[in-house]
């Protein structure tokens, strides 16, 4: 599995991404649900996850720059960054079963999943088929490849991706286990309260309401390929992911890193050496230092290397004790809340 090279670890790079976002890209935030144009997202989650920048700092800087974007764009960003993120932190902190079906406290959702547990699934995929993006659905496969090769799936696709895992696996329990395993294994921002709640929202209806009842999903909110394709251009998204995968594979083959462009950043010149530029000379200088650190101290867990997945490790991870995961998540929540 190739190393992710677009995200430079550390506080300085986190501030550069934040600056670029609030000053140039926050105005696009209202259009963030188009995964072929990832610059509309902040791209901050890896740095937030590792505590290299705080949510509070991001919120304050966004507020200062509010004149550069429309108030609704700022408000939507604030809603995700503060309201959604803190809902997730609170859910994991206060729910011992934050990554299990029983963690959903409302009966309507557990009952509906139970009632539809034996419904015939239109497709059934193994963990390996999902992991290798070998499904019939080109959008889902692109999302999984973006996660696997890029280390971060677009936010809109994450919902579709997790909901399809519910549709194509043997049971809601298995769906939740597979989704959390894939998210935690491949996402730079994985192993995070927002990830557990994202999976619980998609599959178990946490922080959601009941919808029209249908096969497999029961009253859990459904997402369809046909309605999704009306929202954005699926071919454009697939083309973007194909380019990302090609660059990652070329790096892996040559054993060198091209430090591929940060897909979330707008003010950068294309191509190898300057691809990470955030627009200013100072930042390029910082990048060179950061690259040096990455290349020299490759094994230092600054961002943590994503885990190499072996069948043995997969078995271990899938049966990982929820207690140890909980302790880890609670520690992460404590660390965030003391900043």
Q: Enumerate binding residues for ligand FAD (CB under 6 A).
A: 32, 41-45, 48-49, 80-81, 84-85, 88, 155, 158-159, 162, 183, 187, 189-190, 192, 194-195, 198-199, 201-202, 264
Q: How far is the CB of 196 from ligand FAD (least distance, A)?
A: 8
CA dihedral 180, 181, 182, 187 (to 10 degrees): 80
Q: How far is the CB of 86 from ligand FAD (least distance, A)?
A: 8
Q: In whole angstroms, what is the distance from residue 232 CA to residue 154 CA?
A: 13
Q: Which is nearer to ligand FAD, 263 or 277 (CB)?
A: 263
CB-based contact 57:65 (threshold 8 Å): no
Q: How far is the CB of 138 from ligand FAD (least distance, A)?
A: 19
Q: Which is nearer to ligand FAD, 162 or 245 (CB)?
A: 162
Angstrom distances, CA of residue 81 to CA of 16, 43, 178, 195, 265: 18, 12, 26, 14, 18
Residue 264 corresponds to which tokens in the numbers above?
């979330």
Q: Which is nearer to ligand FAD, 104 or 202 (CB)?
A: 202
CA dihedral 29, 89, 151, 28 (to 10 degrees): 0
Give the containing element (helix H, strand E) for 179.
helix 172-186
Backbone angles phi, psi at 207, to 5 degrees: 60, 25
Q: How far is the CB of 77 from ligand FAD (least distance, A)?
A: 6
Q: Which is nearer to ligand FAD, 68 or 252 (CB)?
A: 68
Q: How far is the CB of 154 from ligand FAD (least distance, A)?
A: 7
Q: What angle do CA 264, 12, 180 make, to 5 degrees?
A: 50
Q: Which is nearer to ligand FAD, 45 or 95 (CB)?
A: 45
């Amino acid at each position: 599995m190739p190393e992710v090279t677009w995200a430079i670890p550390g506080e300085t790079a986190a501030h550069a991404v934040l600056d670029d976002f609030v000053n140039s890209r926050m105005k696009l935030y209202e259009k963030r649900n188009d995964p072929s144009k990832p610059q509309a997202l902040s791209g901050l989650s890896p740095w937030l996850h590792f505590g290299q920048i705080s949510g509070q700092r991001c919120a304050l800087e966004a507020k200062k720059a509010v004149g550069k974007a429309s108030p609704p764009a700022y408000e939507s960003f604030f809603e995700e960054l503060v309201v959604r993120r803190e809902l997730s932190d609170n859910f994991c902190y206060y729910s011992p079963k934050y990554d299990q079906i029983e963690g959903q406290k409302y009966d309507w959702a557990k009952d509906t999943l139970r009632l539809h547990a034996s419904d015939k699934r239109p497709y059934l995929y193994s963990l390996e088929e999902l992991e290798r993006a070998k499904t019939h659905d080109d959008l889902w496969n692109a999302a999984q490849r973006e996660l696997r090769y890029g280390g971060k799936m677009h936010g809109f696709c994450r919902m579709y991706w997790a909901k399809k895992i519910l549709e194509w696996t043997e049971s809601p329990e298995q769906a939740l286990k597979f989704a959390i395993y894939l998210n935690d294994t491949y996402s730079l921002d994985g192993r995070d309260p927002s990830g557990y709640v994202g999976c619980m929202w998609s599959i178990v209806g946490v922080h959601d309401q009941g919808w029209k009842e249908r096969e497999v999903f029961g009253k859990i909110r459904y997402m369809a390929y046909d309605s999704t394709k009306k929202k954005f251009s699926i071919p454009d998204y697939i083309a973007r992911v194909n380019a990302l995968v090609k660059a990652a594979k070329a790096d892996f083959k040559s054993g060198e890193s091209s430090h591929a462009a940060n897909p979330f950043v707008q003010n950068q010149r294309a191509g190898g050496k300057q691809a990470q530029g955030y627009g200013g000379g100072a930042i390029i200088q910082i990048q060179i230092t950061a690259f040096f650190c990455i290349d020299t101290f490759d094994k230092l867990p600054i961002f943590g290397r994503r885990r190499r997945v072996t069948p043995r490790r997969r078995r271990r991870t899938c049966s990982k004790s929820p207690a140890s995961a909980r302790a880890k998540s609670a520690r992460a929540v404590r660390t965030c809340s003391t900043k």
